[in-house]
């Protein structure tokens, strides 16, 4: 997917409308609690500034559902951006309108203006043509550097570039990096290629598993999603959290039946698929709870909260010779001390892989775990897109990237 990149645009004196992902967590005091996504956008923003562009940033924050919510303003993100860039950042009162147009008209080369939360307008998620046209009118050039929303056909990610002339649309360095690492991992990985999938929802990863079965050498399963497969096999899971049913587009889907069908595909696949042999269990997810090691089944009254020590050793062995690893989803409730060992072990194993190959981490919880254990710098790449990275691993096309000019 060779797309025009930011450095291939002539930006001097031009108004560059840039879609970034400043959907960052805020504290109760409304200051930024985690600025990772802002920091990840800095190279693209700085490149545009250095090239003499007038940089207009747009993003969403939270889910205001088309209504203005002062608690979801982008002002705190803009303030943090200004601190990181060591410059004054102007914030607009809205995304469109005469006041915004005046602010844009007054911009000098190298200036940065942050538009207000896109999702204060229902037209953003609806990809409304009128809203997209008003945004596009602010710009000479368009840059998409928000991988976290690249799987969503919204006004800012699809409607706007659809209106921009050919030769004016590019991807930023962050999306370029995501496409390079995730794309190469799927299309031409150095082998052995191992995928590690965990987390709570198996429903989010069905398509990922099906797509990866024909690509990976090994697939390691952990987290609460493993319990769905245990139920499908007729194994006891005690009081463990099990995603038994999901509702999508008004229709309910039996996840146990889905897991049974997927197990048949796994049996027929060439890839080695490994499930936990034992589990760290407790009667409740609490730091002071009594724990036990049980397996392969979990007894009534107990809930699985992490993979067990035998499984940890098996997974370490399966990752020891890996040259490419993609990991999405923790192995347990790593936020609570006693149940962090499984996830920590995977983190340490990937840090070793990074020394000889490629270790890619995707998903918000997984990235948080890598941060918690102080190993973020030892990962080859940490994806900024949770749902986007999953859909990419499923092999789904991203129309918001396809619409960008080819290189």
Does 337 qualify as catalytic in the annotation? Answer: no
Neighbours of 347 (CB within 10 A): 27
User: Residue 223 catalytic?
Assistant: no
CA–CA distance, 36 with 80 (Å, rounded to integer): 11
Distance CA 156, CA 141 (A): 13
Measured distance CA(166)–CA(143) in Å, rounded: 13
**Catalytic residue chosen out of the listed positions 37, 49, 169, 205:** 37
Please, what sign has the CA dihedral across residues 233, 235, 240, 245? Answer: positive
Decide if 364 is catalytic. Answer: yes
- Residue 289 to residue 292: CA distance in whole angstroms: 10
Q: Is 52 a catalytic residue?
A: no
Q: What sign for the dihedral angle of Cα 190, 196, 201, 203?
A: positive
Q: 308, 363, 364, 385: which one is catalytic? A: 364
Q: By the 8 A CB rule, do 107 and 71 touch?
A: no
What is d(CA 32, CA 75) in angstroms, rounded to the nearest whole number? 10
Asked if 358 contacts 323 with a C-beta cutoff of 8 angstroms, the reply is yes
With CA atoms as reference, report the closest residue to 406 among 161, 183, 186: 161
Bridge partner residues of 18 (DSSP): 57, 143
Q: Which of 265, 204, 187 is nearest to 232 (CA)?
A: 265
**Exposed / middle / buried, residue 26 (Cβ in 10 Å: 0-12, 13-18, 19+):** middle
Element (DSSP H or E) covering residue 210: helix 206-212
* CB distance 114 to 92 below 8 Å: yes
Q: Active site residue: 201, 241, 260, 323, which one?
A: 201
Give phi and psi for 288, each to the nearest 5.
-105, 15
DSSP 258-296: HHHHHHHHHHHSSSEEE--S-EEEESSS-TT--EEEE-S
Residues with a catalytic annotation lie at 37, 201, 364, 387
């Amino acid at each position: 997917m060779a797309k025009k990149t930011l450095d291939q645009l002539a930006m001097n004196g031009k108004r560059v409308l840039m879609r970034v992902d400043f959907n960052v967590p805020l504290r109760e005091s409304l200051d930024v609690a985690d600025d990772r996504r802002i920091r990840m956008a800095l190279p693209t923003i700085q490149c545009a500034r250095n090239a003499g562009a007038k940089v207009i940033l747009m993003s969403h924050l939270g889910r205001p559902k088309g209504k203005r919510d002062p608690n979801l303003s982008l002002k705190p993100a803009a303030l943090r951006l200004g601190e990181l860039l060591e410059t004054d950042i102007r914030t607009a009162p809205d995304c469109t309108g005469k006041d915004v147009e005046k602010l844009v008209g007054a911009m000098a080369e190298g200036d940065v203006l942050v538009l207000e939360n896109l999702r204060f307008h229902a037209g953003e998620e609806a990809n409304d043509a009128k809203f997209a046209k008003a945004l596009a009118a602010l710009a000479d050039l368009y840059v998409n550097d928000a991988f976290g929303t690249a799987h969503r056909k919204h006004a800012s990610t699809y409607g706007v570039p659809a209106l921009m002339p050919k030769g004016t649309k590019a991807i930023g360095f962050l999306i370029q990096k995501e496409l390079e690492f995730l794309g190469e991992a799927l299309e031409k990985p150095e082998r052995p290629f191992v995928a590690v999938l965990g987390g709570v929802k198996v429903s989010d990863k069905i398509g990922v598993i099906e797509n990866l079965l024909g690509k990976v050498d090994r697939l390691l399963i952990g987290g609460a999603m493993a319990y769905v497969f245990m139920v499908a096999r007729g194994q006891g899971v005690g009081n463990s959290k099990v995603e038994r049913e999901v509702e999508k587009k008004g229709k309910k889907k039996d996840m146990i039946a889905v897991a049974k069908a997927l197990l048949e595909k796994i049996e027929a696949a060439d890839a080695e698929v490994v499930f936990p042999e034992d589990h760290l269990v407790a009667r409740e997810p609490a730091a002071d709870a009594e724990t036990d090691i049980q397996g392969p089944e979990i007894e009534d009254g107990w809930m699985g909260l992490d993979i067990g020590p035998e499984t940890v050793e098996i997974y370490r062995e399966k990752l020891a010779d890996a040259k490419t690893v993609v990991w999405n989803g923790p192995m347990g409730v790593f936020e609570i001390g006693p149940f962090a060992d499984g996830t920590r072990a995977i983190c340490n194993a990937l840090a070793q892989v990074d020394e000889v190959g490629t270790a890619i981490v995707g998903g918000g919880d997984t990235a948080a775990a890598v941060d918690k254990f102080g190993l973020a710098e030892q990962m080859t790449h940490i994806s900024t897109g949770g749902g986007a990275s999953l859909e990419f691993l499923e092999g789904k096309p991203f129309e918001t990237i396809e619409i960008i000019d080819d290189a």
